[in-house]
Amino acid sequence: MASISIAAFGCSPRSGGNSDGLLEAALAGAREAGAQVQQLVLREMTIAPCRHCGGCSDGSGNCVVQDDMQRLYEPLRRADRIIIAAPVFFMGLPAQAKAMIDRCQPLWVRRNLGLPVAEADHPRAGLYLGVGGSDMGHLFDASRTVLASWYWTLQVFERRELTFGNTDAFGAILEHPTALDQAREAGQDLALWHSSGSERS
C-alpha cells in the first residue's frame, strides 16, 4: 500500500511561533505513522489576493494570476490529508492563510460545476491546528467557518481540529503541559485514519 501523503500549510507570518510549534509536532507524529509529508510555508511565498477577475470561470481549475499559488494547487488536489496551522488575527485567519484560501476560487468553481476537485481516489481528511491569545469561547469560530467552506471545496470531509487559547507570547505553546503531545498524536491519528464510508460527498 502506498504511503499516505500529507500537504501541511504553515500560515503564521512569524517563524517559530506557536502554530509552527504545533505543526512541527503534528508532522513528527505523522511521519512516525509512515506518512509522506510536504510542508508548505506561506510566509516564504508571494500569494496575491484573489482579484475576482473571472479568469477561472471556465471550470479548468486554473488561476490566471502567476505567482507562488500555482505551486499549491497540485498538493491541494492530490494530498490524502491536509493540515493547516494558523494563529488567530482579529478573530480570524491571518492574511497568509486567507489569501491562499481565496485563491482556491478556481477549485470552488469546479466544485459548483459538479466537476471533481480531489485527485485522490478515496476520501480525504483534514486537520486544523489553531492558536490564539485570548480565552474567549468563540475565539476560533470565524476560522472554523472559513475552513468549513474551504474543506468542502477541496472535498475534504473528515475534519479534525486542535486549538489552544491563551498562547499569545512567543513560545507559549512550548510551555503548555500537553499541547505538543496532543499535536503529535493528532498527526499520527490523521495519518492512520481510514474512511468509514459515511463521509459526505
Distance CA 120, CA 3 (A): 13
Which pLDDT does position 28 carry in this prediction?
98
The number of CA neighbours under 13 Å toward the Cβ of 41 is: 12
Alpha-carbon Rg for the chain in angstroms: 16
Distance CA 96, CA 185 (A): 26
CATH number of the domain located at residue range(s) 5-192 in this protein = 3.40.50.360
Q: pLDDT, tens digit, for every residue of 161-198?
A: 999 999 989 999 999 999 999 999 999 999 999 866 55
Closest by alpha carbon to 1, among 194, 198, 196, 201?
194
Over 70: is that where the pLDDT of 201 sits? no
Domain map (residue ranges) of the chain: 5-192
Side chain identity at residue 150, one-letter code: W
Task: DSSP letter for 3, please.
Answer: P
Which pLDDT does position 196 carry in this prediction?
62
Q: pLDDT, tens digit, for every residue of 130-168?
A: 999 998 899 999 999 999 999 999 999 999 999 999 998
Q: pLDDT, tens digit, for every residue of 12-22?
A: 999 999 999 99
Q: What's the mean pLDDT when you consider all of the chain?
A: 94
Which pLDDT does position 50 carry in this prediction?
97
Q: pLDDT, tens digit, for every residue of 49-67?
A: 999 999 999 888 899 999 9
Which pLDDT does position 131 carry in this prediction?
98
Query: What's the 3-state SS for 133-146?
Result: CCCCCCCCHHHHHH
Q: What residues are paired with 147 via a beta bridge?
A: none
What share of the chain in percent tops pLDDT 70?
Answer: 96
Longest dimension (CA), the chain: 50
List, in sequence order, every beta strand (DSSP E) within the chain: 5-10, 36-41, 81-87, 124-131, 156-164
